[in-house]
Amino acid sequence: ITIRQATINDIQAMQNANLHNLPENYQLKYYMYHILSWPQASFVATTYEDIVESNDTEAGEEFGGEKEDPKGDSAYINRGEKIVGYVLGKMEDDPEAEDKTPHGHITSLSVMRTYRRMGIAEKLMRQSLYAMCESFDAQYVSLHVRKSNRAALHLYRDSLNFEVTSIEKSYYQDGEDAYAMRLTLELDE
């Protein structure tokens, strides 16, 4: 698994992962807004998987023939990069926001089911938090999480030391409450 900064070329795959993993979905232009405004703050976790490009015998021969074909069915295999997780981060840019100290916000985080419990989300979060602090002088980072989301709550509270600052009633469209959480950032010298 590789963690790297997200680019504009990743936003479709990030949106797909988001649709798989969370009920809170966003339009592509919102992903684009994040990546263009704060390119350092969003990351993807990637792996390479075999993508069967063609079942055509001639293509199989062209790419080494049957003997070297790992699947033995004359399809040739391409090693394709696959996005298995992402964190979408931003700086607070609402001119109406009460708190004028620069601070970041985690808009969305998810990891595909078969890649969970491997430390990927924690790594994605740490990269984003560090970048917000270093690149944008964020003093703290905030986020919202569903009260019922045990896995995410554990990650934020126990692994990353976020604290619950308030409960926002009916924050989500289906009426569920959110914990508003926050982590003060300090760059290790």
The answer to whether residue 145 forms part of the interface with ligand ACO (CB under 6 A) is yes
Rank residues 39 and 153 by Cβ distance to ligand ACO and give the closer one: 153
Helix axes 11-21, 28-37, angle to 10 degrees: 120
Helix (H, G, I), strand (E, B) or coil at 57: helix
Q: Report d(CA 20, CA 130) in Å as an integer.
A: 27
CA distance 46 to 85: 7
Asked if residue 158 binds ligand ACO (CB under 6 A), the reply is yes
Positive or negative torsion for Cα 3, 8, 10, 13: positive
Does the footprint of ligand ACO cover residue 154 (CB under 6 A)? Answer: yes
Out of 36, 52, 151, 167, the only residue in the binding site for ligand ACO (CB under 6 A) is 151
The site for ligand ACO, by CB under 6 A, has a size of 25
Residues 162, 181 contacting (CB under 8 angstroms): yes
Site string for ligand ACO, 22-61 (x = CB under 6 A): x---------------------------------------
Q: Which is nearer to ligand ACO, 63 or 147 (CB)?
A: 147
DSSP result, 61-97: HHTTHHHH-TTSSS-EEEEEEEEEEEEEEEE---TT-
Q: Which 80-139 residues touch ligand ACO, going by CB under 6 A?
A: 106, 108-111, 116-122
Q: Is 152 in the site for ligand ACO (CB under 6 A)?
A: yes
Binding residues for ligand ACO, rule: CB under 6 A, are 21-22, 106, 108-111, 116-122, 143-145, 149-152, 154-155, 158-159
